[in-house]
Amino acid sequence: MFLKKIQFLFVLVLFISNSLNAQDTYLVYLKNKTKEYSIDKPEQFLSKKSIDRRIKNNIKITEKDLPVNTQYIKQIKATGVEIIGSSRWLNCVFIKNNKKSIQEIDQFSFVQKVEKYHGLKAKPEKISNRTLNYGDATVQTEMLKGDVIHNLGYTGSGVVIAIFDDGFYQVDNIGAFSHLYSNSKVLSTHNYCGYEFNTVYDAGSHGTSVLSCMAANETGEMIGTAPDASYRLFLAWNASSTADDEIGWVLSAEEADVLGVDIIQSSLYFTAGEAPGEDSYTYEDMDGQTALSTQAAQSAYEAGIVVLNCAGNLRAESWHYIGAPADAEGVLAVGAVDGSEDLAYFSSAGPSFDGRIKPDITAMGYECYVINTNGNTEAAYGTSFSTPITSGLVACLIQAFPSATAEEIRTAIVESADRYNNPDNDYGYGIPDFEIAYNNLLASKTEEIKQSDSSFSIYPNPFSDFINISASSVIKNITIYDVSGRAILCKMVNNSDKYVLDINKLGKAFYYIKVECENDTYIQKIIRE
């Protein structure tokens, strides 16, 4: 009996000790920005690629882009709290604290307000186990006309995709990904959630399967939708973490922006907290402006990044609707269909709470195909996979039209979808057709060149046997496409800003010519009479 009392007292003391030491997460919102940096010198806090992306998208660098004041962070840290990170977009510092220092922090003259953050668990999907062959896996690409885009020579080369997930277990040891390392296509890895792992390759396996939808490149097994893109891998969610999943998403998004990525691919979504009665998000918060991750996702889009996020897998559950940050206006929220293009039973429904169409588009996410941690293909289910399948082809579209803005890319994809004229909150605008999106962008860029670019010329047009090309910089490659978007003539030049192209073997028809120069790419419609 005495021994049992000691055991009971030990458990009681341990419980009380843990309760006293338990740390909550708080958001410390600040009144103003740093004086250490200036928007007139963005190279001090943004990479060249990030600045170039803003220039391309005609986006001004504003105070929102400035880093959080480091002196404020030091003063907050001096109260004894743990700093998780800071958000320049939210002008906020994320801290852990046992409530002793909150009152002191709240009295700082530079603090706007302090709010307790109720942690939300991100929800990726489980993956089934069924080995399948490459032939079956092609359906998910062909459904979006990805094969047409690949046949045009666009496989994501030169485009940078940031992936936010739970980890990338064994990616650095799987044959289907070996080309990423031999060709230096994994540009960086980042851990914003789950610090017990040495690398992102020691963490979860969900990201491994997500990455394979885009990057896998193993003939006879599986080839993803963007095998030649470059990747930055972010551990933004951790199954064993307690409260800070969404903060990890925000910090990942801001770092991705600084590094100058072109695309954010996220197969995580945030809804209600898991604890009974926990004060967290409700459907009413899916309004495009409330959730932290939604605010960050919208900021990323407004910084010129194409953001794709899974709609979620909760249609058949009590939540039913999309999760954050899929509710952001600028985010392409992706639902799921099966191989027959019928809606998957789990694909979360819209609209956003403020009445906007969501999801935006749908792609194959029911019995689609991924690479598992053993390096084998298997069937998988979830909007987690319809999203990266689509993201890879977005990278191909950006490669084809490097001067296109994020808004132009997003619009072209939505307008190509098969329900664009009759959208609903199950399929959104429908299944995108990347051949149509490509041709629409081709036509619009042709018109732009015709109206505004005097440094590039093609003559005569219409032509008979020869065409003269003149540009402001060295011409590197010339490609002729037929009206269906099929490449029918390719010529490497790389020696002059003028070139005479012999195309007397072409039939009398309309064509598109793409001229890749040292400093720019030009696309124009031409006619042979």
Which domains are assigned to the chain?
20-117 (no CATH), 134-270+285-442 (3.40.50.200), 453-527 (2.60.40.3080)
Q: How far apart are CA 420 and CA 433, in angstroms?
A: 11
Q: How far apart are CA 529 and CA 465, in angstroms?
A: 9
Q: How many CB atoms lie within 10 A of CB 386?
A: 33
Q: How many CB atoms lie within 10 A of CB 102?
A: 18
pLDDT score, position 235: 93
Are the beta carbons of 429 and 327 closer than 8 angstroms? no
CA distances from 521 to 6, 307, 478 (A): 77, 24, 10
Q: Is 189 helix (H, G, I), strand (E, B) or coil?
A: strand
How are beta strands 377-381 and 366-371 bridged, if at all? antiparallel
Are the beta carbons of 240 and 194 closer than 8 angstroms? yes
Q: Is 448 helix (H, G, I), strand (E, B) or coil?
A: helix
Q: Is 96 helix (H, G, I), strand (E, B) or coil?
A: strand
Q: Is 459 helix (H, G, I), strand (E, B) or coil?
A: strand
pLDDT score, position 13: 35
Instruction: Establish whether the linkage from the previous residue to 388 is cis, with ω within 30° of 0.
Output: no
What tokens does 346 get?
């789990």
Backbone angles phi, psi at 85, to 5 degrees: 170, 180
CA-CA-CA-CA dihedral for 90, 96, 101, 107, to nearest 10: 0
Angle between helices 406-416 and 434-452 (to 10 degrees): 130
- What is the pLDDT tens value at each position of the chain, 529 positions in all? 333 333 333 333 333 334 334 567 889 999 998 778 988 888 999 998 998 898 888 898 999 999 999 999 999 999 888 888 899 999 999 988 766 678 888 889 999 998 888 666 565 554 443 332 345 678 999 999 998 898 888 899 999 999 999 999 999 999 999 999 999 999 999 998 877 788 999 998 999 999 999 999 988 789 999 999 999 999 998 765 544 678 899 999 999 999 999 999 999 998 876 444 455 789 999 999 999 999 999 999 999 999 999 999 999 999 999 999 999 999 999 999 999 999 999 999 999 999 999 999 999 999 999 999 999 999 999 999 999 999 999 999 999 988 899 999 999 999 999 999 999 999 999 999 999 999 888 877 666 655 555 677 888 888 888 888 888 888 888 888 876 566 788 888 877 888 888 888 888 777 878 888 887 777 777 878 7
pLDDT score, position 6: 34
Helices and strands, counts by H and E, the chain: 14, 20
First to last CA, the chain: 103
Q: Is 476 left (phi over 0), alpha (psi -120 to 50) or beta?
A: alpha
Nearest-Å Rg of the Cα atoms of the chain is 25
Q: For residue 513, what are the β-bridge partners?
A: 480, 524
CA-CA-CA-CA dihedral for 59, 60, 62, 67, to nearest 10: 60
Q: Is 116 helix (H, G, I), strand (E, B) or coil?
A: strand
Q: Which residues contact 184 (CB under 8 A, 6 or more apart)?
A: none
Q: Is 375 helix (H, G, I), strand (E, B) or coil?
A: coil
Are the beta carbons of 281 and 118 closer than 8 angstroms? no
Q: How far apart are CA 199 and CA 274, in angstroms?
A: 27
